[in-house]
Amino acid sequence: MNSQIDIALNELDRVIKVFSQKEFPEKIAKVFIKGVGKPMNKWSLGNQFLVFLQESEDARGYKQWQEVGRHVKKGAKAIHILAPRMIKIPKKDPITKLVIEPKEFFPICVGFRAIPLFRYEDTEGKPLKVYKPKVIPPLLNVAEKWGVNVKYDDTRIGELGSFNQEKNEIRLCTESIDTFFHELAHVAHKKIDGKLIGGQDPEQEAVAELSACVLSSIYGYDVKGYAFTYIGSYAKDKKPVTVGKMCFKVMRKVQAVLTLILEETADDKAKRIYKEHQAKQKILVRVPLKKKVSKK
């Protein structure tokens, strides 16, 4: 196990040196999963927020719950979201103010109406379908040991993943391995410091992304381009010297995060994969033989 940690710390040193000297191209967009299709994922952010305020992540109408084999508990109270009241107005000529023939209509909002819904927590019946990733991410056993619930779901505002420290839950919107590593690093960081700063704190994000980059490397995934751009966005400058400074600033914390994660796993697969990956990266340099020069 110590050798595995040594590999990670050596890779950390190498990544920081590379980030300090080399500029990487813009990050490649990751592929979002198509989750279980909760109706509220298509709502406005305002209406989704109304549900979150009621301490739930899924709310549907009475009949919608019946369609998935669940029914509302007796005595449950509905929550409400707002739906626009739309009417169609015929288009008029801007000069004559007469209705254009043939008639064309355009919708306008004349107000809002309350729609009653019920939270998942206020229903019972068949369990809902859950998204199952095609490949189980490495180090998932670490999250399980720490009692962290890992689930996959549709993105809400374009996020790839998140860690809710109150619920002790990792939520993933992509199957990218480094995204899971990023959120797992947040979990380890919290265990070390006791609590994370709310929101997108630059140093916390740098710790998580640099840790994810190193863990990805020892599992055979090269995500340096993405990690460089991500850290640069929080360092306010994507120049190597600036990204390097941010990495050096959080280096000690990243070392602690990597050590904590790798101490929790008995997975020797990382060591084997890393060695195989490094062997493939070696380039044999052939030195041309010197031609003998005739003394004639």
pLDDT digits (tens, 9 = 90+) for 73-126: 999 999 999 998 988 888 887 887 787 877 788 888 889 999 999 999 999 999
Integer Cα distance of 182 and 176 in angstroms? 10
pLDDT digits (tens, 9 = 90+) for 215-247: 999 999 999 999 999 999 999 888 999 999 999
Average pLDDT over residues 190-206: 95
Q: Six-digit token pair at 94? A: 């801007």
Greatest mean pLDDT among 45-54, 106-115, 155-164, 250-259 lies in: 250-259
60-79 b/e (C-beta count within 10 Å ≥ 16 → b): beeeebeeeebebeeeeeeb
Q: Does the pLDDT value for residue 6 go beyond 60? A: yes
- Dihedral of the CA atoms 261, 262, 267, 272 (nearest 10)? 130
- Dihedral of the CA atoms 37, 42, 47, 51 (nearest 10)? 10
pLDDT recorded at residue 224: 95
Q: How far is CA 241 from CA 89, 202, 235, 244, 246, in A?
A: 59, 17, 10, 5, 9
Q: What are phi and psi of 131, to 5 degrees?
A: -75, 130
Residue-range domain boundaries for the chain: 2-33+130-279, 39-125
Q: Does the pLDDT value for residue 33 go beyond 60? A: yes
Q: Which residue has the higher pLDDT, 227 or 268?
A: 227
Q: How confident is the model at residue 296 (pLDDT cuts 50, 70, 90)?
A: very low
What percentage of the chain exceeds 70 in pLDDT? 89
Q: Six-digit token pair at 57? A: 């992540």
Q: Name the pTM for this structure.
A: 0.79
Contact 171, 151 (CB under 8 A): yes
What percentage of the chain exceeds 90 in pLDDT? 63
